[in-house]
Amino acid sequence: MSQKDLVLRYLKDGNSITPIEALNRFNSFRLSAIIFDLKKDGHNIKADTVRKGKKAFASYKLIIGSPYQDTLSFTRYGVGGILR
């Protein structure tokens, strides 16, 4: 399963995701590229800016009720053996 698929599953379960979470959960260094591709595929994803001290980063969330969103829900996440 690709990193894109894993991120989409994670978002479909109602979670938000930040770049550090994507790195820790899915070994993904390019969350913004994955989000770009998901949006291009028709998924409605909202980005919020999170500020911690002097640092700022994005947090992404799938908007429920998007016209292209599947109704599937997934509960397992992992990275083992998915990287090519």
Q: Is 18 helix (H, G, I), strand (E, B) or coil?
A: coil
In a domain, 48, yes or no: yes
For 24, the domain range is 3-62
Q: Indicate the average pLDDT of the chain.
A: 83
Going by pLDDT thresholds of 50, 70 and 90, the confidence category of residue 65 is confident
In a domain, 10, yes or no: yes
In a domain, 15, yes or no: yes
In the predicted structure, residue 53 carries a pLDDT above the cut 90: yes
* pLDDT digit string, tens, across residues 14-40: 999 999 999 999 999 999 999 999 999
The confidence score (pLDDT) of residue 67 equals 53
In a domain, 67, yes or no: no
* Structural domain total, the chain: 1
In a domain, 78, yes or no: no
**CA-to-CA distance for 2 and 83, rounded, in angstroms?**
7
Q: Is 35 helix (H, G, I), strand (E, B) or coil?
A: helix
* Dihedral (CA of 41, 19, 3, 11) sign: negative
Q: What is the separation of C-alpha 21 from the centre of its chain, rounded to a whole number of angstroms?
A: 9
* Dihedral (CA of 67, 72, 73, 76) sign: negative
In a domain, 69, yes or no: no
